[in-house]
């Protein structure tokens, strides 16, 4: 089968690999859509933590079910997605119902080979019913679940101001689910095109260019002098994360959804006097995936508006480099294989 391999940073190669033979308890998927995410871009650039090469990327996937692997309630031929976080089931996190941060976590397309291939075998207990959603929609469930989980970690309450730093696909998902939770969303980014997208497509009322000299003043004006009680970073940029500490209200919560390789160093007195809460948000749980699928079915989220670029599977290598350039206006690139 045709497979795209990232053999080292900055280099892709198509290979012809044997079709996978599912082990007991594994389902077999025929891949129909692959969403390109920040993890894929960072892996290609060599800036993704927890990563080894060579690796087959791809974990935002929609597929046709070829073999159910014994999963109850699933039928061969149905459209599916799956939860791409393979947890051990017995570590301290798993025992406490936190499989998204398993000690032995194996993320599909990061720690183990992913879905940039024609077929993929996955644990059958990770399957998700398509629920009548299109392949495009199903491929976007996972990135939206990341955002939904971050919002759930933050405990967003109706009426409070939520500053989302970063208006890429993950940040957009954070904004969507902060809105659904009742938060008043403020988008912060350096890209005016993405900020315009937030206003025009998501209905975000407040947008701020992070390069403006008066970001603090704008935030004070929007929040009536209080500052945001929730700040969620979706950039994975050390500079953006460190800069955002100053935007947090007293008693606020700062959630790190984005991931970067370096250390974080911030003023303890400034953080302490706020009695602030700092937390990370890793992956997502089945409850988050189900929340996303339900929200899509109810029309609360329309993620296909995020898709700005489309290519066939055999065109990924030739086009991938340009998706790294913000000037090309990529929100979400979608890879199509034969099918719907």
Average pLDDT of the chain, as a whole number: 95
**pLDDT digit string, tens, across residues 227-245:** 999 999 999 899 999 999 9
**pLDDT digit string, tens, across residues 62-83:** 999 999 999 999 999 999 999 9
Provide the whole-model pTM. Answer: 0.94
Q: Which of 84-98, 171-185, 281-295, 319-333 has the lowest mean pLDDT?
A: 319-333
Instruction: Write out the residue limits of the CATH 3.40.50.720 domain(s) in the chain.
Output: 147-280
Instruction: Give me the CATH code for the 2-139+302-336 domain, please.
Output: 3.90.180.10
Q: Is the pLDDT of residue 18 over 70?
A: yes
**pLDDT digit string, tens, across residues 154-178:** 999 999 999 999 999 999 999 999 9
| SS3 assignment, position 31 | strand
Give the strand pairing for 253-256 and 277-280: parallel
151 in Cβ contact with 184 (< 8 Å):
no
Instruction: Write out the residue limits of the CATH 3.90.180.10 domain(s) in the chain.
Output: 2-139+302-336
pLDDT of residue 339: 56
> CA–CA separation, 58 vs 103, rounded Å?
22
**pLDDT digit string, tens, across residues 129-159:** 999 999 999 999 999 999 999 999 999 999 9
315 in Cβ contact with 337 (< 8 Å):
no
Q: Give all strands (DSSP E) within the chain, no chain letters.
A: 2-8, 11-16, 26-36, 60-67, 79-82, 85-86, 106-107, 119-123, 127-129, 161-165, 184-189, 206-209, 230-233, 253-256, 277-280, 307-312, 332-336
> What fold, for 147-280?
Rossmann fold (3.40.50)
Q: Is the pLDDT of residue 199 over 80?
A: yes
Q: pLDDT category, 262, cuts 50, 70, 90?
A: confident
> CA–CA separation, 234 vs 123, rounded Å?
29
């Amino acid at each position: 089968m045709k497979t795209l391999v990232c053999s080292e940073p900055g280099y892709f190669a198509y290979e012809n690999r044997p079709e996978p033979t599912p082990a007991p308890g594994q389902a077999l998927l025929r891949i129909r859509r692959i969403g390109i995410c920040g993890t894929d871009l960072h892996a290609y650039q060599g800036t993704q933590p927890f990563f080894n090469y060579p690796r087959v990327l791809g974990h935002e996937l929609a597929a046709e079910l070829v073999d159910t692997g014994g999963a109850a309630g699933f039928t061969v031929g149905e459209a599916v997605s799956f939860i791409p976080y393979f947890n051990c089931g017995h570590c301290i996190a798993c025992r406490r119902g936190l499989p998204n941060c398993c000690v032995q976590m194996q993320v599909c397309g990061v720690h183990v080979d992913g879905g940039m291939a024609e077929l993929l075998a996955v644990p059958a207990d990770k399957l998700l019913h398509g629920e009548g959603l299109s392949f495009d929609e199903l491929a976007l469930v996972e990135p939206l679940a990341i955002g939904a989980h971050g919002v759930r970690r933050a405990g967003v309450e109706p009426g409070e101001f939520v500053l989302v730093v970063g208006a890429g696909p993950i940040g957009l998902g954070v904004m969507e689910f902060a809105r659904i939770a009742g938060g008043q969303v403020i988008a912060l980014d350096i890209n005016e095109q993405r900020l315009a997208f937030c206003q025009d497509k998501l209905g975000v009322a407040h947008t701020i260019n992070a390069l403006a000299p008066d970001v603090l003043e704008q935030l004070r004006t929007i929040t009536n002098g209080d500052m945001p009680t929730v700040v969620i970073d979706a950039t994975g940029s050390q500079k953006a994360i460190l800069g955002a500490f100053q935007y947090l209200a007293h008693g606020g919560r700062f959630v790190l959804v984005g991931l970067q390789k370096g250390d974080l160093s911030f003023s303890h007195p400034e953080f302490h006097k706020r009695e602030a809460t700092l937390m990370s948000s890793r992956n997502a749980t089945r409850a988050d995936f189900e929340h996303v699928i339900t929200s899509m079915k109810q029309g609360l989220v329309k993620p296909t508006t995020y898709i700005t670029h489309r290519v066939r599977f055999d065109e990924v290598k030739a086009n991938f480099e340009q998706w790294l350039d913000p000037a090309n206006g990529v929100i979400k690139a979608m890879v199509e294989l034969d099918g719907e």
